[in-house]
């Protein structure tokens, strides 16, 4: 290669590089579209045309060519190679022909929520099958949706699986989110194809906003059609609302309105409950409902102020689709006088206190022990609770817990008044109530009093096996614990024959006694008389001021001579009490034994009550906790409620139950001459617990009942310790939005000013299963406070707010809200308007058919057909032509033009 | 590799045909020119050299053939459009979520956080392999899909430009729900989430996604910074004295150190209140401004750091509120003398009250009044003016048929949702007697007695609105209560359109229904960011949903209504991204830039064709110089 050729080569390379660069820069920003042969063509990467810049290099090659070919053939070869390069450059530019897409990628969205009937699901299934039959190789995807949306994958064979409702793992069917389903479809369309979505639904959406989504779908090129699923809607009975008047007055009847919906005429039964019991005035209606909504009016009355809940339950007597919308509830707060619940062992003898309180400012509810509240809601309706002369075995453990929660959590006031069945005498030692009260019941007085010889005669027959005997043993051990060191105890077990488990001995030997009690074993039949005789003999030979037998049996015995034996023991100053356990005992026989023996008879079906009965009986028989003498009440600590009470002129009391003051913060307000508490109180949580160790009846307080300041004393005592009453009531509204309670409070002061800076907290209580929560109300404007809380369970909710400033309670608010059932179960007709509007916005049809699903219609989508493969094919052909031109001498085969040879 | 173009058989056919043709051409012996030379001896050495290089010449011939064959092979292979086989590359179905929530507007060292997120998103899209589908969505208070599931990187990159920041807080549940719905059941499903993850709270995204077989890759953007803001702002007129108003402002400090801030309250862009205050770290402070002087309809609150520096998040430094307009109402009271009524009307200085005896009342009187009050009197010919009737014992059933008298009724049910009754308690009003009015269809009972008939109701007769109280206020203890003047002034406001009740500040993202003037078929909405849209009326109202805080104007039938939108209360106050334990960071895909990005995006066939073009250029030169044959 000569220097001249090298320079020429360098020049050609530089020229080519310059051409390539110039072409690249020129073509880079272009996106040319050309109309060729009546079709639009586009170059995706026109910059590849820069490859044509290599043409100068080809030309230089020709100039320096050593090829032994005629010039014409060489020129043709140059043309072929240049064309080849041009074709390749065009291929690299990625040309494509643009046409309208005709293939359709379709997504069918099927509503499988609970508001869709099985008949409609079947219809949707048939629709899908018809669509699949017409797919003809085009894309068809299916999405089922309720609360969530899911892609329905075809089977391995490509068949469409049956439509199924969504289980709980997929959010269940109690909601409809059409928007989520439409959004999901965006991810399912095949690229480069027309996008069609069809919504098969009743149009009832409970979440999202599908109409807002329709615009977005249109912007993404998705055509949305709809088909209303509305065929064969079933008969539906539903409770829509339960309305209570805003103002309910104690003792006045008022209407409770219940709105019932029936999609077609049908029969049903409706029960109305007030709290846990049927509404007394108007409990039940047999309904013959016409189509549409019917308003029913029930009469009701509230006897006690406070929170009252109503629940209506519909029992369909005809076809009904949803069971979930057959119950509705509401709660109201009934204002009135402060309520005092007085439960006395003998209500007829407690009227003096009830009247004294009622004369004042209280609504008094006097009841016997059988009517003790069993729910916190029932107890919450009272502001103060007096438990007078009721034995511990009359209360269940759950009821004691309720009382504690009433005081501790709800701020209620609780007072236990004395009597033969109160405090220690009532068997309250070591109970939840003893821990609640400000006094302890193991009085020291017992030690220097009299001695007691106690024989426990315990049935150990085969029927006592198991928990009964174990609890009887526990009762015997507890009795041993209760007795003083001067007392004596013997335990006799009996089945077919008596066995002396613990010889009569000093109760001081507790360890030995408890060990011996443990050996009691269940076996054999029931023979009471020999055992009672053994106890009789043991007590005769024992020195004690009081001799007593407690007989426990669960058997059916017809033994003769039992009552006579009890009578004989009584004549020897030995008293007998009987305890019947279970429903099989001979109640009359045991009652007679107790009567003849000068003791008491107890009957219980719950073996867990046995220890409490033994303790109560032991305490009662020893009488060690009772002080019966004339007693003057002395002021130990001043208290606000005693203002204006002239205690110095108070009459004497005639007795009380001896107790000890519990450790601080318990306070003794009044004490006896011996310094023992007569009236003590202690703060427990939000409320007060008080102990009045004398009674409130004519036995120990006979003179107090006649005292001119008796009513004032009790009125002031109750007022100071009852549940706090708010100073003001501020209006609070509650509305339900998307399963969320929205609370708004407008706090205006009396002087037209806004109440700002309140520390407001609202306690939310709901149906069973809802854990009460307390949350703050946030101030958002002058005098305006807001809070939101999600209501996860359907039922009635109450909202109680307290508004404080600097820790001081200024006002309260209350509101109620019913969240009866999911909106999905609201019996509404299909929302055809929404479906029609969606189809309008989505560019589809509101009556989508399987036939139309794959029709492109007026929808346009550019489809690009790449042309580079054709160009590459052409390049192969050109290359072969090029080879031909170089390998075969086409011209001047006779070498006539020798002078123009290529050799130089 | 797999072939997306011609199949293997077709390729074999193409290559076989073209190869055979090439072979045939190379088997042909090129006919050479015969050259006559004058002296044989002169060319003898050249002939000897030619004989010695014959082997090399033959080798060159076949090498040239192989070169030609390879060109044919490369072109044939390009026709097959080879791609990485699915079995050799895990084709992920990806959801790329870009957080566009309010905290993504924060500036990290002067750089927009959302910008960083978009850069990361761009890198993810660039790294997409051909055939790997991806769906791009933005998440704020909800999820907005921006593309379908596609492997078209151009479409994805174009959609990335549509990501718009919003003032809504992040809704992680919505994001997770969308991801699960979209990706559950897909093989190699992956959620790529680019966010600062503020607002993730206690939501653990990993477990629910893992249950559906979805891998999660989190890309954390942003850093800590100073941020103060307005978390609540509202202005309100006093219920009785509506000439006075009060503003409430709550400020917050989301940073880790105490801040001194300057607070301005502006009306018509003019500062009407100013205060400097200290905010503890992560603390709040509330301020109340009484009797705002010069307060205009539109009121704003603005907070800034006292040291003059800008905090990280500007959007929460401002809040807006609307003060209800107040205008003087002309009231005609037709009464025989009712001190309680007159006293109550005197309480509102914006009322211009005139009184008239019933005997002097003539039809047509009061035409220039806003409201007429008829106290125990019903005119023979009712005025075409909004009216209030107190104890309306009328005639001919106007305005209500009277069915008797109620003895000692009380308000048993009250429509508390009605603005008229918002501030007042009527539950314990003692009433001596009331008229037993019979409401007509369309009338709205606002207060119902214990026995059912209404005590307070709203109605319309011949298109004229009216309110009625079924009892003589003097026969009740209502005038002794603060509720009485509030009620009567509220009734006038409600009828005269001068209701200056509190206007709630809306929250961004929530849908607000705005009632349009009668006859309006559509409304023009102008949002705080300048965006405009027209919306057709449905049931005489439009739904307004703003994603940007500020004033929104709704114009219809020549009237304008204003709405004030502020940030939601749950908007995060700190701009520091979630801690690593909450959001384990994952490396972003390596960002290819410039030519590297272009080269990476090209399909294999293109490389084959480009290689052929280069080979052809070189082969042309070598052929011309006889290096190849």
Q: With CB atoms and an 8 Å threshold, state whether A754 touches B236.
A: yes
Closest by CA to A90, choosing from A36, A159, A11, A132, is A36
- C-alpha to C-alpha distance for A802 and A762, rounded to whole angstroms: 6
Q: Which residue in chain B is spatially nearest to A754 when comparing CA positions?
A: B238
Query: For position A559, what pLDDT does the model report?
Result: 66
The tokens describing A747, both together, are 């706090």
Task: State whether residue B511 sits within 8 Å of chain A by CB.
Answer: yes
- DSSP assignment of A234-247 equals PP-EEEEEEE--S-
- A876 CA to chain B: closest CA distance, Å? 6
Confidence of residue B594 (pLDDT cuts 50, 70, 90): low
Residue A315 is given by DSSP the state E
Q: With CB atoms and an 8 Å threshold, state whether B613 touches A781.
A: no
- A869 CA to chain B: closest CA distance, Å? 6
- C-alpha to C-alpha distance for B323 and B134, rounded to whole angstroms: 48
Please write the tens of the pLDDT for every residue from B226-235: 999 999 999 8
Q: Which residue has the higher pLDDT, B87 or A166?
A: A166
Chain A residues with CB under 8 Å of B26 CB are 883, 887
- C-alpha to C-alpha distance for A777 and A756, rounded to whole angstroms: 12
- B382 CA to chain A: closest CA distance, Å? 34
- A241 CA to chain B: closest CA distance, Å? 15
Tell me if A335 sits within 8 A of A302, measured CB to CB: no
Query: For position B597, what pLDDT does the model report?
Result: 58
Chain A residues with CB under 8 Å of B180 CB are 148
Query: For position A384, what pLDDT does the model report?
Result: 93
Give yes or no for residue B593 having a pLDDT over 80.
no
Q: Which residue has the higher pLDDT, A330 or B194?
A: B194
CB pairs under 8 A between A and B: 227
Q: Which residue in chain A is spatially nearest to B418 when comparing CA positions?
A: A733
- A31 CA to chain B: closest CA distance, Å? 14
Query: For position A830, what pLDDT does the model report?
Result: 86
The tokens describing A430, both together, are 């070591």
Nearest residue, CB atoms, B240 vs list A57, A247, A752: A752
Range among A751-760, B44-53, B294-303 rated most confident: A751-760
Give yes or no for residue A446 having a pLDDT over 50.
no
Q: Which residue has the higher pLDDT, A116 or B184?
A: A116
Give yes or no for residue A835 having a pLDDT over 60.
yes
Tell me which of A53, A56, A782 to substitute to probe the interface with B (most B C-beta atoms closer than 10 Å): A782
- B397 CA to chain A: closest CA distance, Å? 27
Mean pLDDT, range A90-111, rounded to an integer:
87
Give yes or no for residue A554 having a pLDDT over 50.
yes
Query: For position B470, what pLDDT does the model report?
Result: 94
Q: With CB atoms and an 8 Å threshold, state whether A880 touches B613.
A: no
Q: Average the pLDDT over each of B417-431, B435-449, B508-522 and give the range with the smallest value.
A: B417-431
Task: State whether residue B347 sits within 8 Å of chain A by CB.
Answer: no
Closest by CA to B191, choosing from B88, B99, B116, B85, is B99
- C-alpha to C-alpha distance for A890 and A884, rounded to whole angstroms: 9
Long-range Cβ contact pairs of A148-154 (< 8 A, separation 24 or more):
A148/A177, A148/A180, A148/B177, A148/B180, A148/B181, A149/A109, A149/A177, A149/A180, A149/A181, A149/A183, A149/A184, A149/B181, A150/B181, A150/B184, A150/B185, A151/A184, A151/A188, A151/B184, A151/B185, A152/A110, A153/B185
- B588 CA to chain A: closest CA distance, Å? 23
Q: Beta strands of B6-118 (E only): which ranges?
A: 82-83, 93-99, 107-108, 111-112
Q: At what angle do helices A868-887 and A71-92 cross, to 10 degrees?
A: 160
Please write the tens of the pLDDT for every residue from A878-903: 999 988 888 887 776 665 654 444 43
- C-alpha to C-alpha distance for A128 and A779, rounded to whole angstroms: 54
Task: State whether residue B18 sits within 8 Å of chain A by CB.
Answer: yes
- B510 CA to chain A: closest CA distance, Å? 12
Give yes or no for residue A644 having a pLDDT over 70.
yes
Mean pLDDT, range B228-245, rounded to an integer:
83
**B72: phi > 0 → left, psi -120 to 50 → alpha, else beta; which?**
alpha
Q: Average the pLDDT over each of A389-393, A710-714, B55-59, B575-579 and give the range with the smallest value.
A: B55-59
- B370 CA to chain A: closest CA distance, Å? 25
Phi, psi dihedral angles at A212 (to 5 degrees): -65, -30
Q: With CB atoms and an 8 Å threshold, state whether B152 touches A191.
A: yes
Tell me which of A83, A781, A834, A882 to substitute to probe the interface with B (most B C-beta atoms closer than 10 Å): A781
Query: For position B88, what pLDDT does the model report?
Result: 45
Q: With CB atoms and an 8 Å threshold, state whether A184 touches B410.
A: no
Nearest residue, CB atoms, A148 vs list B177, B232, B240: B177
- C-alpha to C-alpha distance for A245 and A330, rounded to whole angstroms: 11
Quickly list H helices, A227-372: 351-359
- B337 CA to chain A: closest CA distance, Å? 27
Task: State whether residue B94 sits within 8 Å of chain A by CB.
Answer: no
Q: Which residue has the higher pLDDT, A716 or B84?
A: A716
Confidence of residue A97 (pLDDT cuts 50, 70, 90): confident
Chain A residues with CB under 8 Å of B177 CB are 148, 180
Give yes or no for residue A474 having a pLDDT over 70.
yes
CA atoms within 13 A on the CB side of A253: 11
CA atoms within 13 A on the CB side of B147: 28
**Which residue carries 């009003």 as its tokens?**
B429
Range among A660-664, A835-839, B184-188 rated most confident: A835-839
Task: State whether residue B32 sits within 8 Å of chain A by CB.
Answer: yes
Q: With CB atoms and an 8 Å threshold, state whether A187 touches B75.
A: no
Nearest residue, CB atoms, A57 vs list B31, B71, B617: B617
Distance of alpha carbon A454 from the chain centroid: 53
Q: With CB atoms and an 8 Å threshold, state whether B30 touches A68.
A: yes
Give yes or no for residue A448 having a pLDDT over 60.
no
- C-alpha to C-alpha distance for B94 and B160, rounded to whole angstroms: 15
Give yes or no for residue B366 having a pLDDT over 80.
no
Q: Which residue in chain B is spatially nearest to A750 when comparing CA positions?
A: B482
Chain B residues with CB under 8 Å of A243 CB are 413
- C-alpha to C-alpha distance for B531 and B97, rounded to whole angstroms: 25
How many C-beta neighbours within 10 Å does residue B49 have?
A: 9
Give yes or no for residue A488 having a pLDDT over 60.
yes
Q: Which residue in chain A is spatially nearest to B239 when comparing CA positions?
A: A752
Give yes or no for residue B364 having a pLDDT over 70.
yes
Q: Which residue in chain B is spatially nearest to A871 when comparing CA positions?
A: B79
Closest by CA to B371, choosing from B358, B354, B357, is B354
Chain B residues with CB under 8 Å of A868 CB are 605, 609
Nearest residue, CB atoms, B148 vs list A187, A780, A884: A187
Give yes or no for residue B463 having a pLDDT over 50.
yes
Indicate the helix (H) or strand (E) that contains A682. Answer: strand A677-684
Mean pLDDT, range B43-47, rounded to an integer:
67
Give yes or no for residue A832 having a pLDDT over 70.
yes
Q: With CB atoms and an 8 Å threshold, state whether A151 touches B185.
A: yes
Q: Which residue in chain A is spatially nearest to B506 when comparing CA positions?
A: A780
Residues 6+ apart with CB under 8 A from B54: none
Confidence of residue B13 (pLDDT cuts 50, 70, 90): very high
Confidence of residue B317 (pLDDT cuts 50, 70, 90): very high
- C-alpha to C-alpha distance for B69 and B76, rounded to whole angstroms: 10
Nearest residue, CB atoms, B33 vs list A151, A186, A901: A901
Query: For position B87, what pLDDT does the model report?
Result: 46
- B77 CA to chain A: closest CA distance, Å? 10
Mean pLDDT, range A228-241, rounded to an integer:
76
Give the CA distances from residue B506 to residues A8, A52, A283, B566, B568, in Å, rounded to whole numbers and listed in that order.
Answer: 78, 63, 45, 6, 9
Q: Which residue in chain A is spatially nearest to B538 when comparing CA positions?
A: A837
Confidence of residue A127 (pLDDT cuts 50, 70, 90): very high
Residue A153 is given by DSSP the state P
Q: What is the rounded average pLDDT for all residues in chain A?
A: 84
Confidence of residue B201 (pLDDT cuts 50, 70, 90): confident
By percentage, how much of chain A surpasses pLDDT 70?
A: 95
Confidence of residue A798 (pLDDT cuts 50, 70, 90): confident
Q: With CB atoms and an 8 Å threshold, state whether B76 touches A876.
A: yes
Please write the tens of the pLDDT for every residue from B535-585: 888 777 888 888 899 999 999 988 888 899 999 988 998 999 876 544 444
Task: State whether residue B621 sits within 8 Å of chain A by CB.
Answer: yes
Tell me which of B92, B134, B321, B412 to substitute to probe the interface with A (most A C-beta atoms closer than 10 Å): B412
Task: State whether residue B67 sits within 8 Å of chain A by CB.
Answer: no
Phi, psi dihedral angles at B205 (to 5 degrees): -75, -20
Q: Which residue in chain B is spatially nearest to A891 when comparing CA positions?
A: B31
């Amino acid at each position: 290669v000569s220097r001249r050729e090298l320079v020429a080569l360098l020049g050609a390379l530089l020229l080519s590089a310059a051409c390539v660069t110039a072409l690249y820069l020129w073509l880079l920003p272009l996106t040319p579209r050309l109309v060729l042969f009546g079709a639009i063509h586009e170059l995706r990467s026109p910059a590849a045309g820069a490859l044509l810049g290599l043409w100068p290099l080809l030309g230089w090659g020709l100039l320096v060519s050593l090829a032994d070919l005629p010039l014409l053939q060489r020129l043709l070869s140059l043309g072929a190679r240049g064309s080849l390069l041009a074709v390749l450059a065009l291929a690299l530019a990625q040309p494509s022909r643009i046409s309208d897409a005709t293939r359709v990628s379709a997504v069918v969205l099927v509503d499988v929520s609970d508001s869709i009937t099985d008949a409609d699901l079947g219809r949707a299934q048939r629709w899908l099958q018809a669509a699949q039959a017409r797919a003809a190789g085009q894309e068809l995807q299916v999405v089922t949706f309720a609360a969530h949306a899911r892609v329905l994958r075809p089977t391995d064979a490509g068949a469409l699986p049956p439509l199924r409702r969504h289980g709980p793992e997929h959010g269940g069917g109690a909601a409809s989110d059409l928007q989520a389903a439409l959004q999901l479809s965006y991810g399912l369309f095949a690229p480069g194809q027309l996008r069609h979505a069809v919504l098969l639904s009743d149009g009832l959406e409970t979440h999202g906003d599908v109409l807002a989504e329709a615009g977005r779908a249109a912007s993404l090129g998705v055509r949305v059609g709809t088909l209303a699923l509305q065929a064969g809607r079933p008969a539906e009975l539903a409770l829509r609302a339960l309305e209570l008047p805003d103002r309910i007055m104690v003792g006045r009847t008022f209407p409770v309105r219940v709105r019932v919906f029936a999609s077609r005429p049908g029969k049903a039964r409706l029960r109305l409950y007030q709290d846990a019991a049927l509404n007394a005035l108007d409990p039940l209606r047999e309904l013959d409902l016409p189509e549409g909504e019917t308003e029913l009016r029930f009469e009701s009355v509230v006897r006690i102020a406070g929170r009252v809940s109503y629940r209506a339950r519909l029992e369909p007597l005809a076809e009904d689709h949803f069971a979930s919308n057959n119950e509705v509830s509401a709660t109201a707060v009934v204002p009135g006088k402060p309520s005092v619940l007085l439960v006395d062992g003998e209500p007829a003898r407690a009227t003096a206190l009830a009247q004294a309180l009622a004369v004042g400012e209280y609504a008094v509810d006097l009841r016997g022990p059988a009517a003790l509240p069993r729910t916190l809601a029932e107890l919450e309706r009272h502001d103060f609770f007096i438990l007078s002369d009721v034995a511990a075995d009359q209360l269940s453990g759950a009821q004691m817990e309720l009382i504690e929660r009433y005081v501790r959590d709800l701020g209620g006031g609780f007072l236990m008044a004395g009597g033969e069945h109160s405090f220690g005498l009532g068997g309250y030692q070591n109970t939840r109530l003893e821990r609640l009260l400000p006094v302890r019941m193991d009085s020291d007085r017992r030690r220097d009093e009299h001695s007691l010889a106690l024989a426990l005669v315990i049935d150990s027959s085969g029927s006592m096996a198991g928990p009964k005997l174990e609890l009887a043993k526990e009762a015997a051990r507890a009795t041993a614990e209760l007795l003083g060191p001067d007392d004596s105890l013997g335990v006799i077990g009996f089945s077919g024959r008596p066995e002396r488990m613990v010889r009569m001995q000093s109760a001081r030997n507790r360890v030995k006694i408890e060990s011996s009690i443990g050996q009691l074993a269940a076996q054999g039949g029931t023979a009471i008389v020999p055992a009672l005789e053994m106890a009789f003999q043991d007590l005769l030979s024992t020195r004690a001021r009081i001799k007593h037998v407690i007989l426990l049996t669960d058997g059916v015995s017809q033994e003769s001579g039992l009552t006579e034996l009890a009578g004989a023991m009584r004549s020897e100053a030995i008293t007998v009490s009987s305890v019947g356990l279970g429903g099989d005992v001979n109640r009359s026989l045991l009652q007679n034994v107790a009567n003849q023996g000068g003791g008491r008879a107890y009957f219980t079906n719950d073996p867990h009550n046995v220890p409490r009965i033994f303790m109560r009986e032991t305490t009662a028989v020893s009488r060690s906790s009772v002080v019966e003498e004339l007693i003057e009440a002395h002021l130990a600590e001043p208290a606000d409620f005693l203002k204006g009470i002239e205690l110095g002129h108070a009459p004497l009391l005639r007795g009380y139950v001896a107790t000890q003051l519990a450790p601080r913060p318990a306070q003794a307000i009044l004490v006896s001459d011996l310094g023992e508490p007569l009236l003590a109180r202690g703060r427990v949580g939000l409320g007060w617990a008080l102990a009045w160790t004398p009674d409130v009846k004519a036995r120990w307080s006979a003179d107090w009942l006649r005292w001119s300041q008796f009513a004032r004393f009790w009125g002031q005592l109750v007022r100071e310790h009852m549940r706090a009453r708010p100073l003001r009531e501020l209006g609070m509204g509650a509305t339900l939005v998307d399963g969320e309670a929205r609370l708004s409070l407008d706090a205006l002061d009396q002087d037209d000013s806004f109440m700002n800076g309140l520390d407001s907290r609202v306690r939310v209580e709901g149906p069973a299963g809802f854990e009460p929560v307390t949350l703050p109300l946030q101030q958002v404007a002058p005098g305006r406070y807001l809070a939101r809380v999600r209501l996860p369970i359907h039922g009635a909710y109450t909202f109680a707010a307290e508004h404080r400033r600097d820790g001081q309670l200024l006002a309260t608010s209350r509101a109620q809200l019913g969240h009866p059932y999911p909106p999905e179960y609201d019996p509404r007709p299909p929302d055809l308007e929404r479906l029609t509007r969606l189809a309008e916005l989505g560019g589809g049809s509101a009556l989508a058919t399987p036939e139309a699903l794959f029709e492109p219609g007026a929808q346009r989508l550019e489809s690009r057909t790449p042309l580079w493969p054709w160009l590459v094919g052409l390049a192969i052909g050109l290359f072969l032509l090029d080879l031909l031109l170089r390998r075969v001498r086409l011209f001047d085969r006779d070498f006539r033009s020798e002078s123009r040879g290529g050799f130089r | 590799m797999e072939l997306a173009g011609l199949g293997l058989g077709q390729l074999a056919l193409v290559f076989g045909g073209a190869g055979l043709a090439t072979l045939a051409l190379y088997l042909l012996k090129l006919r050479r020119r015969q050259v006559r030379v004058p002296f044989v001896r002169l060319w003898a050495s050249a002939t000897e050299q030619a004989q010695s290089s014959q082997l090399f010449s033959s080798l060159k011939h076949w090498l040239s053939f192989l070169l030609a064959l390879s060109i044919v092979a490369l072109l044939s292979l390009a026709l097959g459009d080879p791609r990485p086989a699915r079995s050799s590359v895990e084709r992920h179905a990806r959801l790329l979520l870009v957080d566009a929530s309010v905290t993504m507007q924060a500036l990290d060292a002067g750089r927009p956080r959302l910008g960083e997120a978009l850069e990361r998103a761009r890198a993810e899209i660039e790294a997409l392999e051909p055939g790997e589908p991806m769906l791009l969505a933005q998440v704020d208070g909800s999820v907005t899909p921006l593309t379908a599931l596609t492997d078209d990187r151009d479409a994805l990159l174009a959609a990335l430009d549509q990501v718009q920041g919003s003032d809504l807080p992040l809704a992680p549940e919505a994001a997770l729900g969308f991801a699960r719905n979209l990706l559950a059941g897909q093989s190699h499903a992956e959620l790529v989430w680019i966010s600062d993850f503020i607002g993730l709270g206690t939501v653990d995204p990993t477990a629910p996604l893992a249950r559906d077989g979805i891998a999660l890759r989190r890309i954390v953007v942003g850093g800590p910074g100073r941020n103060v803001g307005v978390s609540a702002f509202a202005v309100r007129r006093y219920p009785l004295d509506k000439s006075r108003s009060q503003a409430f402002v709550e400020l917050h400090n989301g940073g880790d150190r105490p801040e001194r801030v300057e607070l301005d309250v502006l009306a018509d862009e003019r500062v009407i209140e100013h205060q400097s205050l200290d905010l503890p770290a992560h603390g709040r402070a509330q301020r109340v401004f009484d009797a705002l002087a010069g307060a205009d309809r539109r009121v704003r609150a603005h907070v800034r750091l006292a040291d003059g520096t800008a905090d990280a998040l500007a959007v929460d430094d401002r809040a807006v509120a609307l003060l209800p307009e107040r205008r003087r109402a002309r009231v005609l009271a037709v009464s025989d003398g009712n001190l309680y009524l007159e006293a109550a009307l005197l309480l509102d200085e914006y009322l211009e009250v005139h009184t008239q005896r019933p005997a002097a009342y003539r039809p047509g009187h009061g035409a220039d009044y806003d409201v007429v009050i008829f106290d125990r009197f019903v005119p023979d010919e009712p005025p075409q003016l909004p009216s209030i009737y107190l104890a309306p014992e009328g005639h001919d059933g106007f305005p209500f048929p009277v069915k008797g008298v109620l003895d000692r009724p009380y308000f048993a049910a009250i429509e508390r949702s009605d603005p008229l009754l918002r501030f007042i308690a009527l539950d314990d009003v003692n009433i001596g007697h009331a008229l037993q009015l019979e409401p007509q269809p369309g009338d709205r009972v606002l207060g119902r007695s214990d026995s059912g008939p209404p005590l307070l109701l709203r109605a319309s007769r011949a298109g004229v609105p009216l309110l009625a109280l079924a009892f003589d206020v003097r026969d009740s203890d209502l005038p002794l209560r603060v509720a009485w003047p509030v009620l009567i002034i509220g009734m006038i406001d409600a009828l005269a359109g001068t209701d200056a009740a509190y206007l709630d500040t809306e929250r961004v993202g929530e849908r607000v229904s705005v009632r349009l003037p009668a006859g309006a078929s559509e409304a023009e909405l102008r949002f705080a960011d300048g965006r405009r849209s027209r919306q057709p009326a449905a049931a005489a109202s439009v739904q307004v949903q703003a994603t940007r805080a500020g004033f929104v104007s709704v114009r219809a039938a020549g009237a304008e209504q204003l709405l004030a939108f502020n940030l939601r209360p749950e908007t995060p106050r700190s701009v520091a991204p979630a801690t690593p334990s909450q959001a384990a960071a994952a490396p972003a895909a390596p960002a290819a830039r410039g030519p590297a990005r272009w080269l990476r995006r090209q399909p294999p066939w293109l490389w084959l064709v480009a290689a052929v073009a280069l080979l052809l250029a070189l082969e042309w030169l070598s052929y011309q110089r006889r290096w190849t044959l």
